[in-house]
Each structure stands twice: as structure tokens, then as C-alpha cells.
Structure 1
């Protein structure tokens, strides 16, 4: 206790330098925690949008479909979907068919991705449909309805109500054509989607595929992200008698999004390391200057019988107090800033388009943070440890003092 009181007094011997170091360390911790929480919140937004417009939290495919993307690699929808809902009733499923086609109008033609969807299911969660008025939804009783990307409509000089022809090769290798009528226009914010996507009813897509009742993908949504791996294992076990099918998580089904998140997170870690190095230099400077200013004092302590271990203890106590204060202040400020970012967020609509794209996924331009209390606690403890590590060199300098030279020092 005496060592802590003595260290506390010495820490404030030069009040200005201590306050500057304390502010720098606390500010670094605050920004680190807030940046991490904002990144986690942004990643959650991306994943939320990505799994709903893409392949779900987990997906059932033909085992070769992800590699070949061949129209012939389809499977019967009904038995697989029934098995999924019997096994885990809470899962939400979205059957889809993907076809490569040529879209033609009286003006021009374009290569497109023709996607067959169940409108009743997709309309409840797919962000591509969030701006689409309800009266432009695909009708179940009209198989020729189509939703066409905004840019594709402009390029083909088409408007809602007009017709276009799609031509493709079905699963049996035969060329088929169909006349579609534009029911609505999609504006997703993703250039590749707006310029090359056509959504049609699942039954029409199955007809064009030449395999009624078949699908290419069964996208599944879970209620909690942390159950994905367990769900994959459970469904894989249920499909053991169907080796031609596989269940994969979204990280495998959508590698572009997963890689984009990993790359962004890695770049943030590099910034964090740089910030911590700068902070460490500041802590070392504060403690070293504190030691150098008290060489005479340390010499007297050595002369009256204090051991060199006592000097190391004093320096370590100063570093610990500096670290604990910085951790408390930084975490409190980081929590306040995170709370603001969770509630209000950062609105980027004034700096860019209304929709933001990252990793091929559109997400809300208002970036909001998400709480990660475990990581915040770990970084606070790391700051304390960092202060103790930074104290090693000043403590070593203190142990190198000789009594005579220290007493003569002014």
C-alpha cells in the first residue's frame, strides 16, 4: 500500500506530462473500442443484407454446383425443404433457380442472370425488393411476370408493362425462349445486379429449366448467427443418405463477402498496432522522464538501505496506476461513443449514393456500431499490460543507478 501511495504521488510530480500521457492513452483506447464496435456493427449489417439477397446463412446445393454453376445440377425442392423444416422448424427457407439467358427487346439484347424466386418468401426479407411497391410484386397467378434491373431497362429501352424475350439453354441442352412482361423495376444499388438481373416466378423458371419441382439453391436463414455451425452439422447428418447434396455456411457460399470482411478487419488491426506503438512510446517517455528526474531521490533511497527491487516496484506501481486510470477513463469514453454510434450512427448519405456496396452487397449508408463487451474488456486489460511492459526499460534504468552517482546527480 505504501508503494502505491508513493507511486501515486510521484506520478503527479509532473502533472502536465502525466495528464498529457493519460489523455493520449485514454483517447487511443476510446477510439480503438469505438472503431472496433463500429466495424462489428457494419459487418453485421453487411452479413444481414448479404445472406438475405444472396445465399442465406447456410445453403443446400448439389455438391458440384458451386464449382460448375451448371443448370443441370439441380435437385427436387419438396423433399429437401420438408426435411429441413421437420428437423429445424425455425429455419426460414428461400428456393431459387439461376439461369444464364439472353434478354431481347425490339431495341437491343443483353446477357442476363435469370433468377426464379418464390415471391411470397423473398418479399419478406430480400433487400433487393425493399424499394419495390407491393403492386409491382410478381403475381402467383401470372407466370410471365418479370422484375428487371433498372439499368437493364434503360439499356433495352423498356418500361413496366412492356415485353421482352429471354432465350436460354435448359438442363437438357435444348434452346428455349419465353415472352415475359415487365411487372416492376429493381433498383439495388449494385451495378452488376441493376444491369443484368431479371427475377421471375419460380414455376416459370422451372419450366424454362425443363425440370418441374427442381431448384438450384435452397437458402436458409437462422434466428441466431452463433447457431450456424451447429445447424450445418445437423442438416449434413440428415442428408447423409443423399451424397449429391451439401450444406454450406454463408462464408463458403459467398466468399467475396467473407474475404472483403476479413481484409477490412485485418487493415483495422494494422491501424490498431500502429496506434498502440505510438502510445507505448509515450508511456515509456513519461516513465523514463519520471525516473530521470528522481535519480537523486532514488540515490538517497539506496543509501538508506532500500533495495533495487524497491525501485522496480515503484516504477511498476506508477505504470500500473497509469494503465488502470487510462483503462477506466478510456473504456467509459469508449462506451459513451459506442452508445452514440449504436443509437445515432454515422450518416454517409451526404458523401455518397443512398445505397452503399461492399463485397458485392448493398447495405444501409447509416453505419451503426454493435456492442462487443468482451473485446472492450480485453483491450482495457491490454492497455494495463502495455503500461507494465513499457515500464521495463525505465525500471531497468533505475536498477543501473549507483549510490554515489545518484546522490551527486542534480
Structure 2
């Protein structure tokens, strides 16, 4: 028995040694087999322009004109949009993209360490550094940072992302202990989510007002004036504050027998009431039991999804409080931007695109409709509509104005990113690019 155990031990030791040698590349007795193990099959049919296996699943992916920016758990890298080849990589705990197309930069930093570095996406070279900021917010024309001298003395500064030139600055109370890294949550709306379509990480337009939650209060900043409102907003125990469309929206949900009494009122930066919703209409902020308002409303900075007392969904102009689109019973808004809204029929078998306009709120223009599987999901990304259909599994890219099909592929992969030029598909560690041309 002892001799048998000894022989088994030698076999285990030999297997461990072989595994180490093969995995480290020192010795590979089966090159063909090892290549087969590390090779994935095509993630789409017809095949993507290129397909690369990554070292791990990226946390975010952003499409630029000629590069892809991949944020990993401990690094950020750029890859060629044309070939998928890695151009550069650098250690980082967080990363985001800021600036217009011709001056886009990558902003990256380390968690719990003040400061950030600004990187040229084409070369990986650091174009400037900051050693004071605790957090940053990235937009398509500005980068907003907050830095604190003391726990109760902070400065909010907007800069041109590439050069660092200051655009405006305003004082705020202590924020350094509650905000860090890139794009901490502000009190605005949130995008409508879609299954198998990742959220967009492209830098968007800066909102008309920025709402910062600090110590139970809300400090509202106007980027146009470059200053904060004189007095912070102090929400009540059953009140939620939403900052959208240049308005500070107050949503108060009071328990009543059999439900909640919800009152929604919007004020401008001076505190004057601009609009209010009829009793019972709400912004879908109530989640779970009771009347607790745990959720932010869905929409954009200009339009918000609301629910009428009879359960129908309605799209509101956030600045004026006007309804720009009212759904029929059972219909749902599945995607929305500042100009259009995509609505799913009550039976789930049809999607219809509307063009909405606050100047003609009662007459949204129907642009097109399309039959889909009830399990399909859809989103608007970078100037295209992405439709992930079922039975069979496929991804269809549509023109938002006409519904014309730009590309269609059979795939079970997730849509990682999309814009008017192409589509990125991801399946575990595999990434594939599909160009529309």
C-alpha cells in the first residue's frame, strides 16, 4: 500500500510540473492541442471583421473614431478599431472618456488616491496630470472635477478635457469623503435598460443643471453660469429630488390607505414652481414595498418617463412638464433620446418609433414600426437602433429615422457598444467588431 501511495504521489507531482511548464510557455508538448484550447469559434454569423480573445472580461468598452477603449479591473487599454490589435495598456483602477471627437481623451486614476492622468487615446502618452481631484465627471465638451482643501471646503471645476484650461469654478461643501473615481451618481435621470445590450459609456452632453447629494442635502450647480444655487435643497423624509431639464423636480410620496399619494412639482433655479403633475401621476421612483422612493426616473436630461393614474406610460418634457408622448394601455417605452422614443406594443410583438417635440406635444410623429419576438430587447446607441431578437438569436441594427436594416447577424453574444459606424459584440472574454460598411 505504501508503494502504491508513493507511485501516486510521483504521478501527481509530474502532472503539476507539466501543467506549470505548459501554462508558463516554457515547454509545450502539444502545440496543436494548446492552440485549440485557446481558440474560440466565431461569435457571429456572418463572422465579424475581427475577433480577439482578451485576458479578461472588460468592465466597460467605449467606441472612438479609430480606437476602442477597454476598462479592466486594474488597467485600461486601447485597441485598433480596424484590426482589434492592442495599441497600448496602462495600470488604472478606473477610466472614462471625455471631450469631442477631434479632442477625445482617456481619463484614468487609482481608487482612493487623489488625482488622475489624461491620456492620448491614439498613442497612450500622458498629456497632463492632476494630483488634487477626488472625483471627475466626463462629458463630450468638458471634464468636471472636485477637489477638497478641508472636509468642508471643496471646489468644483470644469475644464477643457485635453488642455485642462479652466472654464468655470464654484465652491461646494465637503464632498471628498462621499465621492471618488469617475462619474459618481448625480441626482438626474437614468437610461432605460435593455437585456443583452450594455449601457452606453460614450461621453454625453452636460446636463443643464447638476445635482450633487451631500450629507442629506442637494447642491444644484448651473454649468451655464458656473455657480451653485445659493441655498441647498433639503428633501423631506418622503421626498426625492431629481435634477433634469434645467429643473429641480420634487417627488413626494405619502402613504395612504391602499397605496401612495404622489405629488410631483418642478422648480427653476430660483425656486419658482414651473410645473406640476396631476395627482397620482408619478415618475416610477417607487420601488419595493411601501412608498419608499428608491429609484431614479428613466429618461434623459430633457425627457422623463412617467406613469399616469390609469397605468399608462407618458413621456414628459422635463423643462416644461408637457406630455410629448402618451402610450396606449399596456405599451411601454423601451428606448428614448432627446428626439425619439421607441415603444413596445402591449402584446410585445411590435416596436414603433416616434419623433417627439415639445412644440407639438399632442401629435408625436410615427416614423416606423416593426414586428419582433416578445422576448426581444432594443436600445438607441450612437445614432442607430440596436435590436436583440429571439427565435432565432440575432442582432439587427436599424436606422432610427426610417427603420431600414443596416446589418443583421445571428449571434448569442451581448452587444457591448455601437455607433453609426459599427457594432461590438462580446461573449465572455471574446470581443468581435462588425463594421456597417
TM range (shorter): under 0.3
Q: TM-score, normalising length from structure 1?
A: 0.23
Structure with more helix by fraction: 1
Higher relative contact order (CA 8 A, sep 6+): 1
Structure with more strand by fraction: 2
Q: TM-score, normalising length from structure 2?
A: 0.22
